[in-house]
Amino acid sequence: MTRPAGTAEPSTIEPVDPRAALHRLRTEVAKAVVGQDAVVTGLVIALLCRGHVLLEGVPGVAKTLLIRTVATALDLGSKRVQFTPDLMPGDVTGSLIFDPHTAAFTFREGPVFTNLLLADEINRTPPKTQSALLEVMEERQVSVEGERRPLPDPFIVAATQNPIEYEGTYPLPEAQLDRFLLKLTVPLPNRDEELGVLRAHHAGFDPRDLAAAGVRPVADAADLAAARAAVGRVHVAEPLFGYIVDLCRATRNTPALELGASPRGATALLNTAKAWAWLAGRDHVVPDDVKAVARPTLRHRLRLRPEVELEGVGVDAVLDTVLATVPTPR
């Protein structure tokens, strides 16, 4: 059987506890990327929930290096697509190519045939190409001439957006943003972390050579499959179902928002809370798990009223108010 293009080689990693392996991921990623533990945890949660991630950060905060390092540490394949105004759907999904030697059309796989796809500056490509990628994200397959071609498993998209430059962009509409499981903010490093970056580069660190940096696989697809099964068994008490629904309904009734969280957002919040609880070593969800993942799970699903946005109020601040006012179950 031929291995799908863009996926990792069969793993030789010794079987370990999947939770312990995923916790060791932070240590491996830190060998190449400084100060992004929260983003790494978000990517792991996305892999556990089979969801996709929207990364927002200014240029130069190592978003591409982060994805490559996570993929290496998880023994997964990764590819990067730079989204531009002239990018066509077939450039992303693949297309039929005529072979003059056989006088037949053959399918040439696009970069989506991988495990972790970095869609760099997704808002720089027109809606037609955006939609092609988002369809792949939802269906996890490519259909060409009536033939369905499944993508490798696991498969997630990490799409980036520049939060400060909007000229020449095609912002994703809310209905498409809602299909991302998480929106993670990639922050600038603090002073000590930035000093660490400079020292590493001065010592010869090459971001294109992760092996030289000592990054090695600490988990693989089998560990992720076992972890997903364990997350699926995490218990959720009935009051917590009501708490999640009440949080989402509160966003729909908040005067500061003209668009609140959809039922898909409530489902996403349930799944990310279960993954967070499992990573924390518990087999059940507590209210603090829901609160811990509420911002990255819901922030991109909400739209501020224009007058509120002009006042400088952010979505996270509105979510903080919702979390503080909705009664927490005991």
275-306: pLDDT as tens digits: 999 999 999 999 999 999 999 999 999 999 99
**pLDDT tens digit sequence for 179-199:** 899 999 998 889 999 999 999
CATH superfamily entry for domain 18-225: P-loop containing nucleotide triphosphate hydrolases (3.40.50.300)
The per-residue pLDDT for 2 is 41
- Output DSSP code: residue 214: T
Q: What is d(CA 200, CA 183) in angstroms, rounded to the nearest whole number?
A: 29
Q: Contact at 8 Å (CB) between 167 and 296?
A: no
The class (CATH top level) of 234-325 is mainly alpha
**Residue 272: which of 240, 304, 318 has the closest Cα?**
240
The pLDDT, as a whole number, for residue 1 is 37
According to the model, what pLDDT value does residue 11 have?
47
Looking at residue 106, what is its pLDDT? 85
Three-point CA angle 221, 15, 115, nearest 5°: 10
Q: According to the model, what pLDDT value does residue 16 have? A: 63
pTM of structure:
0.88
pLDDT of residue 172: 83
Cα distance between residue 163 and residue 174, in whole Å: 16
Spatial CA neighbour of 182 closest among 325, 6, 38: 38
- Whether the Cβ atoms of residue 74 and residue 87 lie closer than 8 Å to each other: no
Residue 25 contacts by C-beta under 8 Å, 6 or more apart in sequence? 40, 44, 70, 73, 74, 218, 219
At 103 the pLDDT is 77
**Which residues of the chain have a pLDDT value below 50?**
1-4, 10-15
* pLDDT for the residue numbered 166: 67
Residues facing residue 98 across a β-bridge: 105
The answer to whether the beta carbons of residues 34 and 189 sit under 8 Å apart is: yes
Query: What is the structure's pLDDT at 3?
Result: 45
Q: What is the C-alpha separation between 46 and 52, in angstroms, rounded?
A: 6
Domain boundaries defined on the chain = 18-225, 234-325
How far is 158 from 55, CA to CA, in rounded Å?
7
Pairing of strands 104-109, 94-99: antiparallel
